[in-house]
């Protein structure tokens, strides 16, 4: 049965880029003389840093360089969403007009991947809910800039200061934010800190409900008062897989490589998994999936 499940895991992505991905021999069995995990047993990773935590007990099931400070790209948006919810004064159905300052240019970023954005222009109008969902589901950078702008305008507070204050409240002592999208590599954290963030963020039903959607329709009121509709797709390729992801946030910039923060509910176990600095997008998802499977096997012994 274990061999069959391992075959399923390895076959999740067809790309040849995963041909060297494997488990250590007998990784689903605790080695003789070892009464505890996490450390060097389990899947081999391309990721620079990773951690898996049993949310209910707080037990670390696997870790690799868990305290290394690294750029976190769009995982930043989990903090942006959390801070927005804790400070917003507008309702879901209130509308916001897009301003020129909300746009995201491509200059200075990877030539391979343009910064993700909602296809809106200055003067377009969207509901708060559609902006929020667009920022999390599509990882739209302009959506998160709008949310930050709205909170700063309504509260008179600096949004980035609110993000860093919230990080301190969550005891994320090795985390710092420069801006709300994740495009700046000066936004950094650790796998250990981000495990705290994904758990806290997913306690909010608004974030959980957004991240569980595979797609979503955004309605845009154009400057000429006509209506446009935009179908956006979730960036999380693990939705619907057997590891039962309850919510995940992807991230990528050139400086961070491929990142993921996710919660899985498998066999009545709630697992938080963080992947930072995986070599490819496929590695990111495959390594998270394999870590969750492996950690679950340890808990089921």
Catalytic residue, from 49, 88, 117, 139: name it: 139
Point out the catalytic residue in the list 48, 64, 77, 237: 77
Give the span between the Cα atoms of 128 and 176, in whole angstroms. 26
Q: Give all strands (DSSP E) within 27-128, no chain letters.
A: 49-54, 60-64, 70-71, 95-97, 125-127
Which tokens belong to 77?
Answer: 């948006």
DSSP states along 205-219: HHHHHHHT-SEEEEE
Active site residue 139: yes
Known active-site residue 74? yes
* Tokens encoding 233: 């797709």
Helix (H, G, I), strand (E, B) or coil at 172: coil
- Cα→Cα distances 293→79, 243, 267, Å: 27, 7, 10
- Is 77 an active-site residue? yes
Length of the chain: 301
Q: How many CB atoms lie within 10 A of CB 132?
A: 24
Which among 48, 49, 64, 74 is annotated as catalytic?
A: 74
With the CA atoms of 287, 271, 169 and 188 taken in that order, what torsion angle do they form, in degrees rounded to the nearest 10? 0
Supply the residues annotated as catalytic.
74, 77, 139
């Amino acid at each position: 049965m274990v061999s069959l499940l391992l075959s399923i895991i390895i076959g999740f992505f067809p790309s040849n880029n995963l041909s060297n991905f494997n488990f250590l021999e007998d990784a689903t069995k605790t080695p003789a003389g070892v009464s505890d995990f996490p450390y060097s047993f389990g899947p081999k990773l391309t990721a620079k840093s990773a951690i898996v935590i049993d949310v209910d007990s707080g037990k670390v099931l696997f870790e690799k360089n868990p305290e290394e400070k690294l750029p976190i790209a769009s995982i930043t948006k989990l903090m942006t969403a959390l801070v927005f919810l804790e400070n917003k004064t507008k309702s879901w159905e209130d509308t916001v007009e897009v301003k020129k300052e909300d746009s995201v240019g491509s200059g200075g970023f990877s030539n391979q991947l343009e910064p993700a954005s909602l296809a809106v222009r200055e003067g377009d109008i969207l509901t708060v809910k559609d902006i929020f969902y667009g920022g999390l589901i599509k990882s739209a950078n302009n959506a998160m800039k709008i949310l930050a702008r709205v909170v700063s305008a309504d509260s008179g507070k600096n949004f980035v200061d609110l993000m860093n204050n919230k990080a301190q409240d969550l005891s994320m002592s090795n985390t710092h934010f420069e801006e709300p999208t994740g495009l700046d590599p000066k936004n950094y954290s650790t796998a250990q800190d981000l495990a705290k963030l994904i758990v806290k963020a997913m306690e909010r039903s608004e974030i959980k409900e957004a991240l569980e959607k595979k797609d979503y329709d955004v309605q845009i009121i154009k400057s000429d008062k006509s209506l446009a509709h935009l179908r956006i797709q979730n960036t999380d390729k693990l939705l619907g897989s057997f590891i039962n992801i309850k919510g995940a946030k992807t991230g990528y910039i050139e400086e961070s490589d491929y990142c993921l923060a996710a919660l899985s509910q498998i066999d009545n176990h709630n697992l938080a998994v963080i992947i930072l600095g995986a070599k490819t997008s496929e590695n990111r998802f495959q390594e998270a999936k394999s870590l969750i499977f492996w950690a679950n096997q340890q808990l089921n012994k």
